[in-house]
Structure formats: C-alpha cells, structure tokens
C-alpha cells in the first residue's frame, strides 16, 4: 500500500477546489482566448461605410485608327518585338481605303471614391480623373451615373466630382489629430477593378514627408491600382484619409501605402467646390534642408528650419528683408522643424495675409513682416548669358590655411551673382575642396560675418582659430548654401 505525504494531499486538495470553482483554469489557453477577443471586427464598419464608397471609371476620346490589316495585328507584332521572339509570317489583308472615322471612347482607368454629401458630391484623387473626357460613377446598388468634374488639384492629388442624385449615404469625416500610430484602419476600394474590396492594417506613421505639399498618413493597408481615391477609415467608421500612393519596386503593394489626411483634403475640396480651383500663398524663396554640421557651425544648435538658398527679385520675401543664407525657423509663430514644413504653412495661408517670418541670421533671430502673395504656375528659370571674359584680379593668399584663394568681385560679377559684395573663389583645394567649394563660387559670409571685399575677408581670417572648423556662406549660380571647412582633415 502506497503512503501519501499529508502535505501533498493538502496541496492537491486546494488545487482541486480552485479548479472546480473556476478560479484556476487551463492557464495556457486563457491568454490566447483573451487576445482573440480583442482582435478588431470590421464587419459592422463595412456595413456602415461600404454603401458610401463608389467605383469610378474614366473614358477618353481617341481618334479611330484606319485598319491596315487584321484586327489586333499591331498588338501582336508589338508582343513579339517586346519579348525578342521571332516575328511570324502573318498573312495581311489588302489595305482598306482610309475613311474618316468618328472619335471612339475607350476606357482610360479605374479608381475609387466616396460620397462626401448626400446630394452627390464625391471625393477622389486628381490622378484618377486627370485627362478624362467622361467620368462614370457606380454605386454599391449598381446604379451608374455620369459625373462632372467640379475641380481637381494636382499638388495635393484631390479631386471633387458631382453626380445628379439625392439621399445618398454620405461618410462621416474623422478628426485626423486623434489618429494614433498603431491604430487599426480599413480601406475600401476597387483594386484592379474588383469593386468593394476591403483591406485592413494599422497606421505605420503620421506626418510622413514625401516631398509633396501634404504630410501623408502611412499605413500597411493593402492598396493596389484601383484603390486610389478610396477612403481610409478608422474604427469609429470615420474617414481619416484618401488612399493615394504606394511605395513599390514591383508596381504592386509592398506593405507601404500613403493616404492624404482628411483635414487637408477637406480644406482643398472646399476651395474646389466654391471657386473651382485652389489658391496658395507664396513668399518667393528657394529653400533647402539644414544639416547638423551647418547648424552647429553657425550656432543654431539643432538642424531645424529652412535654409534660404535664393530670394526671388521683387518677391514678398525680398521686400520683407529676407536674405539668402537666412534660416527660417518660424512662420507665424509655428516652428519649422524641417524645410518641407515651410511651403505647407505658407501654401495654406490666404494670399494678402500679413505674416511674421522668424529668421536666424549671423547668430541672432529676427522677426520680419511679409505679405503673402498668390502662388503662380512653375516657370522655367531662364539661364543667364555668359558675361564677357575679364582679366582676373590677383588672388588673395591670406586664407591659404583653408586651401582657399579669393579675389575681388568686379561690378559685372556682382550683378551676375546678384550680390552686393563678397569675394570670388579662384582656387579651392585641400580643406576647402573637401568642403565642396570650387572656383567661381562667391563667398558672402565667413564665420557668421559678412565679407564685402578681400580686405574684409582677410581681416576675418586673421582672427580665426586655424585649428577649428569655420562656416562659409557662398553663392553658386542661382543658389546660396553653407559649407563647413575643416582645416587639416
């Protein structure tokens, strides 16, 4: 007979009671079940928002081609040429007489959109309707309407179209500021023409800079051709973005997609609906990023703001006193963290508004008052005709420790470089060459000090600690930029 240890019996009995009472269960299963219960369920959202999503097809008129052979013959020949295959001997029909043919409407593309108002105002992407001669909108109940384009804006890729209908299910617009990274979101659209396709994922990043006027919402929601213009929806059933772009090396979805923030899209759509176009502000500067090296060398500290590389003649910025080499750190009190922030803030400001630009210049901050002008279409900058060859003045050698030789600017060179003073680089070797300077550059500042002549340049050089880096502001062609010269490196 086996003897049991009484302590073991007591422990076993307690465990039995806990299990029987439900206090203790199968521990490995409980966390998995709890996690399963917290996974999002999108079914109600699809029922709620799905009827507001539309399919958009575009048509364009093309001149009918006269048939010179069998139908599809040209496409077949192109197929063989593209893949390097031997071209077969295709029997040809006798050429027909060319007769005038009426223009034909051919499919141009497929996209998505969503109903903004119950009377038929629909939002989509500008690239979906661009170049279309006819826009067809299909609702989830299979009704099809011809739409007219109210307006589109290429810079933000937002377009508004209108169909003649009423009582339509409009979307709810969400607050983008409440959107959080890691939050679940859903997209509905027509990828590859497959209507009412639902995909889901999470917000990967906000304020993603892609070089455009808008800071995009980045997600890992599957977006493919045909999803463009469809809504990005949060878990409250609100539209927080318009699906617009993907990052791809193959042409298909690779886990990174971008959506236009809905607050920006609504702002654009309001202007399109009221005026048919979007007006944006401008101040007339060419800007660049501020590198960490430059920020430290000029005393700015952090690499923030927008470096002014050029100021347009007669522009609001020039009238306000903005100079090439300034670093714009604030616009109307709003900090400029990176250079792309500035055109977005200025662009969203109504033309005619008086704003305050804060610039960092030669170690100090300064507020300048500027009147915002209206942005104009981009125009090519005319190249300047080469000036007459002139005898080079004798170069100064006071800055040889930096690998520089500089000379006085002639009046013609000052006019050509659009500067009031400075020195011309005649040679840039060793440290100066490594910093990126080259012959023909015009140096206007050295160590945060303006230099209008060789004499002033030499005076600044004489006071410098030759073992430490020095910042140089110079002009090259139309652009002004900084360089940091590091002696002996």
Annotated catalytic residues are 127, 157, 228
CB-CB contact of 45 with 235 (8 Å): yes
What is the Cα–Cα distance from 395 to 427, expressed in whole angstroms?
Answer: 9
What is the Cα–Cα distance from 427 to 424, expressed in whole angstroms?
Answer: 9
In 117-170, the DSSP E strands lie at: 121-124, 134-138, 144-153, 158-162
What is the Cα–Cα distance from 256 to 261, expressed in whole angstroms?
Answer: 16
In which region does residue 262 sit, left (phi positive, over 0), alpha (psi from -120 to 50) or beta (all else)? alpha
CB-CB contact of 200 with 140 (8 Å): no
DSSP structure string for 393-441: PPPB-TTGGGTEEEEEPPHHHHHHHT-SS-EEEEEE-HHHHHTT--TT-
Q: How far apart are the first and last CA of the chain?
A: 89
Maximal CA-CA distance, the chain = 119
In which region does residue 469 sit, left (phi positive, over 0), alpha (psi from -120 to 50) or beta (all else)? beta
324-343 as b/e, with b when 16 or more CB fall inside 10 Å?
Answer: bbbbbbbbeeeebeebbbbb
What are the tokens at 105? 């409407």
For residue 207, the cross-strand partners are none
CB-CB contact of 162 with 18 (8 Å): no
What is the Cα–Cα distance from 347 to 15, expressed in whole angstroms?
Answer: 70
């Amino acid at each position: 007979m086996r003897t049991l240890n009484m302590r073991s019996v007591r422990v076993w009995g307690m465990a039995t009671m806990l299990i029987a009472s439900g206090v203790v269960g199968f521990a490995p299963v409980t966390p998995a079940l709890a996690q399963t219960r917290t996974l999002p369920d999108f079914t109600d959202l699809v029922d709620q928002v799905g009827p507001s999503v539309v399919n958009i097809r575009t048509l364009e008129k093309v001149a009918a081609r006269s048939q010179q052979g069998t139908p599809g013959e040209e496409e077949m020949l192109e197929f063989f040429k593209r893949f390097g295959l031997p071209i077969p001997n295709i029997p040809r029909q006798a050429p027909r007489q060319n007769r005038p043919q009426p223009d034909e409407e051919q499919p141009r593309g497929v996209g998505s959109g969503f109903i903004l108002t119950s009377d038929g105002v629909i939002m989509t992407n500008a690239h979906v309707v661009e170049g279309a001669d006819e826009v067809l909108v299909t609702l989830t109940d299979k009704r099809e309407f011809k739409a007219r384009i109210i307006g589109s804006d290429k810079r933000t890729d937002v377009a508004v179209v209108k169909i003649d209908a009423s009582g339509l299910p409009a979307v709810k617009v969400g607050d983008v500021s409440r959107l959080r990274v890691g939050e679940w979101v859903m997209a509905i659209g027509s990828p590859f023409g497959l209507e009412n396709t639902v995909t889901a994922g999470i917000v990967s990043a906000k304020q993603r800079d892609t070089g455009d006027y808008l800071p995009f919402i980045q997600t890992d929601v599957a977006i493919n051709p045909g999803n463009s213009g469809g809504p990005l929806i949060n878990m409250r059933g609100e539209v927080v973005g318009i699906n617009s772009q993907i990052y791809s090396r193959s042409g298909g979805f690779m886990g990174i997609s971008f959506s236009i923030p809905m607050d920006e899209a609504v702002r654009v759509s309001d202007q399109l609906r009221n005026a048919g176009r979007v007006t944006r502000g401008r101040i007339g500067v060419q800007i660049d990023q501020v590198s960490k090296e430059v920020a430290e060398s000029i005393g700015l500290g952090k690499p923030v703001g927008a470096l002014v590389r050029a100021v347009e003649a007669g522009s609001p910025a020039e009238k306000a006193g903005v100079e090439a080499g300034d670093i714009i750190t604030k616009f109307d009190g709003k900090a400029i963290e990176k250079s792309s922030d500035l055109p977005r803030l200025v662009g969203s400001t109504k033309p005619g508004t008086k704003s305050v630009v804060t610039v960092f210049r030669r170690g100090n901050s300064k507020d300048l008052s500027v009147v915002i002008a209206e942005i104009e279409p981009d125009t090519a900058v005319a190249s300047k005709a080469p000036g007459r060859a002139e005898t080079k003045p004798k170069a100064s050698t006071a800055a040889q420790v930096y690998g520089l030789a500089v000379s006085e600017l002639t009046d013609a060179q000052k006019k050509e470089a659009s500067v009031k003073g400075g020195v011309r680089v005649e040679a840039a070797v060793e440290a100066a060459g490594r910093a990126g300077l080259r012959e023909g550059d015009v140096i206007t500042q050295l160590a945060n000090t303006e230099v209008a002549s060789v004499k002033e340049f030499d005076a600044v050089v004489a006071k410098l600690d030759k073992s430490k880096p020095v910042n140089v502001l110079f002009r090259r062609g139309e652009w002004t930029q900084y360089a940091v010269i590091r002696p002996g490196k």
